[in-house]
Amino acid sequence: MIPRTLILTALLALTGTTQAALSWSSQLPPNPHADHAGHGGHGGRGAGTPFILRDGDGATAQLRLPTLVRRALEPDAQGLVTLQPSGLLSYHLLLATRSSPGREEVALRYHYLNGKPSDASPSLLVNSRKATLDIIPAPLTREHQRYQANGAYHYLLRYGDLPLANTEVRLTTSNGSVLSTTSDHRGRLSFTLPDDFPEVQAGRGANRPAEFLLSATHTQAGTQHLTTLSADYHADPAHWRSALGGWLALLGGFVGGLAVVQFSRNSSEENARD
Amino acid sequence: MTDRLNLSLLRKLVQLLAFLFLVYGSAIVGFYTADKISGALPALACAYDQQTADYCTLIPFQHQMDHRVGMVINAGGDLLKALLPSLITLGTFLLMFVVLNKAFCGWICPLGFFQEVLSLIGQKLGLRRIESLPEGLVLRVRPFKWVILLLLVFGLPLLAGLGSVGHELGSPYCSICPSRILTTLAAGDTSQVYLDTSSDGYFVLSLIANLLFGLMLAWGLFVRQPFCRICPMLALHAAFRSIGLVRLVKQGKPRCEKCGLCAKACPMDIREIHTEMEQRDVLFADCTLCGRCVEFCPDKEVLQLKYVTLPLFKADPAYFKRRKQAQGQWEKRNLLAWWRKRRGGAA
Ligand code: SF4
Ligand code: SF4
Ligand code: SF4
């Protein structure tokens, strides 16, 4: 099984769409059904969840808990870190940073871990200061929802404490798509994730998730800021779900229900006559 | 209560506010799950509605049975640790449940309210309604809510976690729950109306979900609270109803025997509310604490809604008279009557 990070790197290299950038990537277990055990963005059970820090030479990595407590992460030589449950149920942030004269790079990835319910809202984590140039999910997907192809998702681009307007943000996917958009005057931007899974199988668990990466660059006061935000996304269930069939079944239930009422009324009237 | 405001009207207002809050309330309490009030609400507010302010307790139970308890039994881990999330969910449910008891059904549940709206539509269309279901049918239907609770909320998800049945049955109640379709549609999201062709199991579940919702729509126009009668939440409430602080009490009088207006008023066809003469506590398993039986009891203080020992609302002859009159006028006004009158006038 070829690690997906390699596929991503190879694809990006092939398409020549982006320069290598500090970013997080998930490394999925080889069994495609293993993903099925999770739901709606839940994860982090059992032996821990592996992530790869890509292009991470010289970077420092940390995990931010929902309460903003920080824990250092030590990627191995391949950039692999295995995320263990923190004890708190909610979104956590994988954060990697690297600074050099004239350049500040940040990689972000939010991940849902199981544990005890936490009082801290994910808004605390997403809005906390973690990078000069920040790509903020607005909002993160909620429980029982996850990123999926053909879904529209919104983000906020922030520089320092202020929204960053008119800045290009690129979206690349591990399935080879490249999109770009520009933040509006309030720093907001949206992407509709491409329906680019090469062979969609019927069923949520039958399709391994792919990965998308948002990247933004902004230069100010002689420093180039480069930030990436990555996440998994899934095949669009509309491939194996029929909305028309659903509405027809609903209509069938309604008509059948009316028929049952009429039938029971007729038979009770007949009984009354007898 | 004033002449205009009666308990039913007050209840409708509370239900409407609860519906708005539970279906669209993330705008108030915040978008994220952790912003929610509990995640274990004793009413069918749905987790699939991305705008909900809080969601029902049945979904965490199903997931915990499947992903925690079943899997840990299978893999041989620490069972007590695996049960802990379910105990936390149950504890949170009970903390809220104790405050309102079964009134979560009669006053808070979005699906309960929706069925009352359907009933209202049927009545206003002038449809020939079935005010009370035959006793035999009511008695035969009652066990279903327990079967659904034990099988679809706990049993099958546990078996799915153990690997004995397919993953389709990991959250089978949510797969057929009418509240999932109702609340997502109400939030402008049509994605929950579908037939899933990915496997036979998913196909059957999605087919049942849509048929059930369609049936509920049709029957709701003619029969009061059709889905409530088989709702697993009603069964869960019934199991813990003795700890709730809101009570329904009766002090039967000989006149009760010839009356029976309370049972006629009851949307759940609980005839025992009329026939029970010994027991003071008349909070039966199917009761939703809607209070209609108290409103339509013509005898002074025979039926009472109480908060522990504090009377909240008592049967009262003067109130009964006003209420009955108002109900009669309300029922007279419907589309069919208006149409007949118009045609009669034109002829
Ligand atoms: S589908 Fe029904 S049982 Fe499941 S979370 Fe929604 S309301 Fe609750
Ligand atoms: S019994 Fe009716 S009111 Fe109560 S939770 Fe179920 S659907 Fe809602
Ligand atoms: S017994 Fe009374 S309070 Fe309970 S559901 Fe029937 S009418 Fe409502």
The ranges assigned to domains in chain A are 4-236, 241-274
Average pLDDT over residues A18-47: 57
CATH, domain range A4-236:
2.60.40.10
What pTM was estimated for this model as a whole? 0.89
Q: What are phi and psi for residue A206, nearest 5 degrees?
A: -85, -10
Distance CA B32, CA A94 (A): 19
- pLDDT exceeds cutoff 90 at B33: no
Continuous H helices in A36-133: 122-127
Of the pLDDT bands very low, low, confident and very high (cuts 50, 70, 90), residue A16 is very low
Distance CA A187, CA B87 (A): 44
Count CA atoms closer than 13 A to B65's CA, side-chain side. Answer: 24
- pLDDT exceeds cutoff 70 at A19: no
Distance CA B291, CA B113 (A): 14
Of the pLDDT bands very low, low, confident and very high (cuts 50, 70, 90), residue B76 is confident
- Which of B109, B153, B174, B224 has the most ligand 2 atoms within 8 A of CB, as the residue to mutate? B109
- Residue A230: predicted pLDDT: 97
- pLDDT exceeds cutoff 70 at B66: yes
**Chain A (146-175) residues lying within 8 Å, Cβ to Cβ, of chain B:** none
- Residue B49: predicted pLDDT: 93
- Residue B123: predicted pLDDT: 96
Instruction: Give percent above pLDDT 90 in chain A.
Output: 71
- Residue A34: predicted pLDDT: 43
Pick the residue of A35, A261, A265 with the most B CBs within 10 A to test the interface with B by mutation: A261
Pick the residue of B195, B197, B204 with the most A CBs within 10 A to test the interface with A by mutation: B195
Bridging pattern class, strands A210-220 and A168-173: antiparallel
Of the pLDDT bands very low, low, confident and very high (cuts 50, 70, 90), residue A43 is very low
Of the pLDDT bands very low, low, confident and very high (cuts 50, 70, 90), residue A143 is confident
Distance CA B72, CA B220 (A): 42
**A21: nearest Cα among A56, A51, A52:** A56
Of the pLDDT bands very low, low, confident and very high (cuts 50, 70, 90), residue B46 is very high
Widest CA span in chain B: 81
Distance CA B53, CA B109 (A): 13
Do the chains contact at A246 and B206, CB–CB below 8 Å? Answer: yes
Distance CA B121, CA A46 (A): 51
Q: Are B334 and B123 in contact (CB under 8 A)?
A: yes
Least confident stretch, A127-131, A215-219, B2-6, B153-157: B2-6
Count CA atoms closer than 13 A to A98's CA, side-chain side. Answer: 15
> Which DSSP helix (H) or strand (E) runs through A115?
strand A115-117
Q: For residue A145, which residues of chain B lie inside 8 Å, CB to CB?
A: 50
DSSP β-bridge partners for residue A62:
A72, A95
Residue B292: partners with Cβ closer than 8 Å, 6 or more residues away: B7, B8, B265, B266, B267
Q: Are A140 and A110 in contact (CB under 8 A)?
A: yes
Encode pLDDT of A188-208 as tens digits.
Answer: 999 999 999 999 999 988 999
Give residues (CB < 6 A) around ligand 2.
B 43-44, 105, 109, 111-112, 227-228, 231, 233-234, 288
Average pLDDT over residues B216-230: 98
Encode pLDDT of A87-100 as tens digits.
Answer: 998 899 999 999 99
Return the residue whose CA atom lies nearest to atom 2 of ligand 2: B228
Length of chain B: 347
DSSP β-bridge partners for residue A155:
A137, A189
Bond into A139 cis (ω within 30): yes
Distance CA B201, CA B172 (A): 10
- Residue B87: predicted pLDDT: 95
Average pLDDT over residues B163-170: 94
- Residue A18: predicted pLDDT: 43
- Closest CA in chain A for residue B87: A116
Residue the block writes with tokens 């199988």: A201
Distance CA A233, CA A209 (A): 5
Indicate which atom in ligand 3 lies nearest the CA of residue B296. Answer: 7
- Residue A144: predicted pLDDT: 72
Distance CA A206, CA A130 (A): 36
- pLDDT exceeds cutoff 80 at A17: no
- Residue A45: predicted pLDDT: 46
Residue B329: partners with Cβ closer than 8 Å, 6 or more residues away: none
How many Cβ atoms from other residues are within 10 Å of residue B327's Cβ?
16
A28 or A21: which carries more pLDDT confidence?
Answer: A21
Of the pLDDT bands very low, low, confident and very high (cuts 50, 70, 90), residue B30 is confident
Average pLDDT over residues B109-131: 96
Q: For residue B223, which residues of chain A lie inside 8 Å, CB to CB?
A: 261
Residue the block writes with tokens 């307007």: A165
**DSSP assignment letter at A93:** E
Average pLDDT, chain B: 95
- pLDDT exceeds cutoff 70 at A6: no
A179: which 2 tokens?
């999109």
- Residue A38: predicted pLDDT: 42
Look at residue B308 and give its three-state secondary structure.
coil
**B203: nearest Cα among B159, B151, B168, B156:** B168
Average pLDDT over residues A144-149: 88
ipTM attached to this prediction: 0.94
> Which DSSP helix (H) or strand (E) runs through A217?
strand A210-220
Encode pLDDT of B267-307 as tens digits.
Answer: 999 999 999 999 999 999 999 999 999 999 999 999 999 99
